[in-house]
Structure 1
Amino acid sequence: MAEREIIVAEDNPRDREFLAAALAGEQVRFFDNGREALDYAGTQVDPLVLSDIQMPGLNGIDLAEQLWAARPSARIVFWSQFDDEMYLRALAGIIPPETVYGYVLKSNPSETLARAVAAVFDDAQCWLDPQVRPVEARSRKAGSAVTDVEYEVLIDIALGLTDNMIGRRRYLSRRGVQSRLKSLYAKLGVDQDQFAAEGVGEAFNMRARAVSVALRRGLVNAHELEQEEAVLAEWLARERAR
């Protein structure tokens, strides 16, 4: 039986050192960026991949989406320092049916990583870090899972855009923007009527409160907002050039 090979995508040198020790005895091929890891994994029949989430260039989510599109049988263990709902929400939207994957936090000892690797690569069983299971369940629950269009408007208000500018950017009427905001507020539990019933109706700005809740839930983070700020700047430049 041929020895299996684990393809690792990790840009941090110290994390690569940790993985080299944790995976001692395994045949491991390291890549310090997602693009090279994807290119190599795409040449394998049933690739086994261990990938960081946040990497420059091609991140772990995009790596997985593109690899699964070409190799649905690929098994991927995501190894991340983040338990943010935004990443688990993104994963929920790209995982093919019957696909085996894992999600492990970097704060765990090497023994936990080894269990996840064994479950996914040896036993063909999904493995989710206990700390992220409640977050993953919420990201899939219809009543609280934020949709793509709701996520867009969340990003827009986090970036400080007005209703008029959101409508212009997303090709919506003002009423359409307000409808999406209302739906987003409901998903986040930001309820003006409830605030009024509790006697704090004038205490909160709804947009700011929604962003606050989203940050605490991990639906957005500083890294994502920095990237979205760059995307917004490009869009504004195109608008000014018209």
Structure 2
Amino acid sequence: MKVLLVEDDQFHATFLQDALSEALPEVTEIIHAADGAVGEEEARQSGLEAIVMDLQMERRNGIEAARTIWSERPQTRILFWSNYADEAYVRGIARIVPDDSAYGYVLKTASRDRLKLALRAVLLEGQIMVDREIHRLQKGGASPRNRLDDSEFAVLVDLALGLQDKLIAERRGMSLRTVQNRLLSLYEKLGVYSEMDESVTLNKRVRTLNRALATRTINIETLEAAQRDLDTWLAGRR
């Protein structure tokens, strides 16, 4: 059994190699890729279908690399390993994982035993396994009332890209009134209204982006991927 390890930090890569050797004696070779772009090419050339993937990497992040790999080989088993339990990452994975694919999401703060369990469960046994904190985000957190639905999240991303309401409506196939209602909902759910002070005038759209970044509802990787999607959409629109 061959495993591809995609991790740009050498210390973490060495730690993972040791954990893999302990958890999976079936592994005959571990191939290390230092970023997502190299990982895509290694997976393509070697036909590897067992991958441990860091999420935050400089040249190409794990979400983008996994999307490419799954588009070519949807049966690939991927265990994501990250410092962050961002809602943005959870949504990103949910959008790209193929039906019935085995995947996992474990935090780098997890114990070594927990990591080894996840490695075996996902890469060998083909199970789906996520950390409790990540599972909580997938279920919408402790307060369903404050959970963003998919249409609200889409409007939030377009807002972060600088689109005005009319262009968001066109892109998302919504009416202008629907977009404006989604914005009002975002102000409420992200706590913008609760921050308002009658003595100070704040820009609600900017405060919404501030709150989304502070709560890691969106992150830089989400915006980079969204910008590429927007560029494609604008090119087709012309």
Please give the TM-score of this superposition, normalised by the length of structure 1.
Answer: 0.72
Select the structure with the greater relative contact order (CA < 8 A; seq sep ≥ 6). 2
Partner of 2:212: 214
How big is each residue's C-alpha offset from its partner over 1:107-133, in whole Å with a ceiling of 9 and x where there is no partner? 123222111101112221101011111
How big is each residue's C-alpha offset from its partner over 1:133-191, in whole Å with a ceiling of 9 and x where there is no partner? 1111229x8x93443x64454245446x484xx5458757xx95563242144266449
Is the aligned partner of 1:93 residue 2:90?
no
Partner of 1:20: 17
CA contact (8 A) 1:144 1:187 kept: no
Report the AA paired with residue 80 of structure 1.
Answer: S
C-alpha distance in structure 2 between counterparts of 1:138 and 1:132, whole Å: 10
Which secondary structure does the structure 1 equivalent of 2:147 belong to? coil
Which 5+ residue runs of structure 1 have no aligned equivalent? none
58, 61, 64: which one aligns with 1:59: 61
What is the percent sequence identity of the aligned residues?
Answer: 26
* Structure 1 residues 191 and 19: CA distance shift in structure 2, 3 A: closer
Partner of 2:115: 113
Please give the TM-score of this superposition, normalised by the length of structure 2.
Answer: 0.73
Moved more, 205-214 or 115-124: 205-214
Which secondary structure does the structure 2 equivalent of 1:93 belong to? helix
CA contact (8 A) 1:46 1:71 kept: no
CA RMSD of aligned residues (A): 3.8
CA contact (8 A) 2:3 2:30 kept: yes
The 5 Å alignment of 1:157-168 reads 157-158=159-160, 161=162, 163=164, 167=166
CA contact (8 A) 1:46 1:75 kept: no
Report the AA paired with residue 138 of structure 1.
Answer: G
Question: Number of residues paired by the alignment?
Answer: 221
